[in-house]
């Protein structure tokens, strides 16, 4: 006979009768008083007949366990004591003790195989409830160590860990093991997603942050050599839709599909880039994410990536990083700092002979100088930038910058014409929906010419396009322009 507690078992009768057996089995070969049994089975809701019920349950258990015992013969298994009862069995006859013996013998898989479900399933009472928690914790601790050992031998525990985490969402070690398993399978994105989900669940339900083991597993994933590269390919593909005219996206079908993917993966991408040991990858991510972070207002993410690139010993990465830092400073209105950062980037690009880098730095520096009121310098930089542009997409950017300088100089008619040229470029490459900057500047130019009707119309169209494309930064700017009209 085996007393099975590690899962459901109805062999030993109704629920409370099994609760009595469980108390005796888990105090094997030790006397358990009648009062302890009553407290363990009924807790605070003790019926007046509890003592009689215990005696009845014991009698029934004796008949089940010793069916051949003579009626008046002394019980040899469920024995009476002066104050209660005692279950006389070998440890090998109760699965809980067999489990521990197998663990001691190093037979972990055999020990875990004894489990058939929830321990003491369907057994009522406070004693059973407490033991259920203890036994479940014991099994999970053993299983976690078994999984950790298996992962060290490159075993695949991914499916089992998915099931376990779903059943125990607050258990951080299981989450950490799941991250490790996914990382070892090359599923970096999924591994990062597990950590993000853990963060949200722990904060939302328990009000706590991930502990050291879970954070370490996440950091090891972020530091994986290929993770940032893995993201970079996809970010560049998404950027082709955010900034049309530079190629065809293979992964994403629409602008909003690319935007949604970037929104969902944003934190993981930035963390991977910052953790990357290759500054060129961090710089490339900062460049590819620029349109997204600028439009959505995630300037601190851009700053983190740019800082990771610019502090490393790689001149080209440092130039790209410094350029992106200058872009963030400009957006935050820190124009003197932005000027110094972008000027430094321009010098580095010039030394490296990077024409594309020079063109971008000139464009950014032109906008910064216009913001500082250094309009002659801004105009010269914008003209030089336009001469370096080859694609319609780049020319539309240069024309917008020239329009910005023209508005600042009060050359409103010229600004209107430059904005029309920019919008023509957008029409050429099928990106008219992204012309919110040109429409904004054209609206300001018309207002400068005293044409309030056209100016307001352009601003409203700019606001609609900015909202349509999720460009929060432009929405704020245009809203401010419209607010000045009221």
Beta-bridge partners for 87? 78
In angstroms, what CA-CA distances link 310 with 223, 278, 326? Answer: 18, 11, 11
CB 136 within 8 A of CB 130: no
Q: For residue 225, what pLDDT is reported?
A: 64
Half-sphere exposure of 416 (CA within 13 A, CB side): 13
Cα torsion angle, 443, 447, 448, 449, sign: positive
Q: For residue 176, what pLDDT is reported?
A: 96
CB 215 within 8 A of CB 186: no
Cα torsion angle, 231, 300, 379, 426, sign: positive
Domains of the chain: 15-134 (1.10.10.10), 156-222 (1.25.40.10), 389-486 (1.25.40.10)
Entry pTM:
0.62
N-term to C-term CA, the chain: 88
DSSP class per residue in 200-247: HHIIIIIS----HHHHHHHHHHHT-TTHHHHHHHHHHHHHHHHS-SS-
Tens place of pLDDT for every residue, the chain, 486 residues?
789 999 988 788 899 999 999 999 999 999 999 999 999 999 999 999 999 999 999 999 999 998 878 777 788 899 999 999 999 999 999 999 999 999 999 999 999 999 999 999 999 999 999 999 999 999 999 999 999 999 888 788 999 999 999 999 999 999 999 999 998 887 888 898 999 999 999 999 999 999 999 999 998 888 776 778 878 988 999 999 888 777 788 888 899 999 999 998 898 889 888 888 788 889 999 999 999 999 999 999 999 999 988 875 788 999 999 999 999 999 999 999 999 999 999 999 999 999 999 999 999 999 999 999 999 999 999 999 999 988 888 899 999 999 999 999 999 999 999 999 999 998 888 787 789 999 999 999 999 999 999 999 999 999 999 999 999 999 999 999 999 988
Q: For residue 231, what pLDDT is reported?
A: 86
Beta-bridge partners for 68? none
Q: For residue 312, what pLDDT is reported?
A: 59
CB 141 within 8 A of CB 104: no
The H or E element containing residue 382 is helix 375-388
Helix axes 15-26, 50-65, angle to 10 degrees: 80
The H or E element containing residue 368 is helix 355-371
């Amino acid at each position: 006979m085996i007393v099975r507690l590690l899962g459901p078992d109805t062999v030993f009768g109704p629920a409370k009768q099994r609760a009595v057996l469980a108390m005796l089995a888990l105090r094997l070969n030790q006397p358990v008083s009648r009062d302890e049994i009553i407290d363990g089975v009924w807790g605070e809701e003790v019926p007046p007949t509890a003592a009689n019920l215990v005696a009845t349950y014991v009698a029934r258990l004796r008949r089940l366990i010793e069916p051949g015992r003579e009626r008046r013969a002394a019980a040899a298994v469920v024995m009476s004591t002066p104050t209660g009862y005692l279950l006389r069995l070998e440890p090998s006859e109760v699965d809980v003790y067999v489990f521990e013996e197998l663990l001691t013998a190093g037979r972990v898989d055999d020990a875990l195989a004894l489990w058939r479900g929830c321990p003491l399933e369907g057994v009522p009472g406070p004693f059973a409830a407490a033991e259920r928690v203890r036994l479940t914790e014991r099994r999970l601790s053993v299983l976690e160590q078994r999984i950790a050992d298996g992962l060290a031998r490159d075993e695949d525990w991914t499916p089992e860990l998915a099931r376990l985490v779903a059943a125990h969402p607050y258990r951080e070690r299981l989450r950490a093991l799941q991250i490790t398993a996914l990382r070892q399978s090359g599923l970096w994105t999924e591994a990062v997603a597990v950590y993000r989900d853990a963060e949200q669940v722990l904060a939302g339900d328990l009000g706590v942050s991930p502990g050291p083991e879970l954070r370490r597993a996440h950091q090891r994933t972020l530091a994986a050599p290929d993770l940032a590269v893995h993201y970079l390919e996809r970010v560049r593909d998404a950027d082709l839709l955010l900034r049309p005219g530079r190629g065809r996206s293979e992964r994403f079908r629409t602008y909003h599909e690319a935007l949604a993917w970037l929104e969902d993966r944003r934190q993981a991408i930035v963390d991977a880039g910052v953790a990357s040991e290759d500054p060129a990858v961090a710089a490339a991510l900062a460049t590819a994410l620029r349109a997204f972070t600028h439009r959505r207002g995630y300037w601190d993410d851009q700053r983190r990536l740019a800082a990771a690139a610019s502090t490393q010993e790689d001149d080209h990465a440092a130039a790209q990083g410094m350029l992106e830092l200058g872009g963030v400073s400009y957006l935050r209105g820190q124009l003197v700092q932005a000027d110094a950062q972008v000027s430094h980037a321009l010098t580095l690009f010039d030394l490296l002979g990077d024409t594309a880098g020079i063109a971008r730095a000139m464009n950014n520096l032109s906008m910064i100088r216009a913001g500082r009121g250094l309009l002659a310098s801004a105009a010269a930089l914008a003209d030089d930038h336009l001469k370096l542009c080859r694609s319609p997409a780049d020319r539309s950017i240069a024309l917008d910058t020239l329009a910005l300088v023209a508005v600042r100089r009060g050359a409103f008619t010229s600004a209107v014409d430059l904005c029309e040229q920019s919008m023509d470029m957008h029409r050429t490459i099928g990106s008219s929906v992204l012309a919110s900057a040109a429409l904004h500047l054209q609206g300001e130019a018309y207002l400068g010419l005293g044409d309030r009707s056209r100016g307001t119309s352009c601003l409203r169209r700019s606001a609609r396009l900015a909202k349509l494309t999720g460009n929060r930064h432009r929405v704020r700017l245009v809203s401010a322009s419209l607010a000045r009209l009221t």
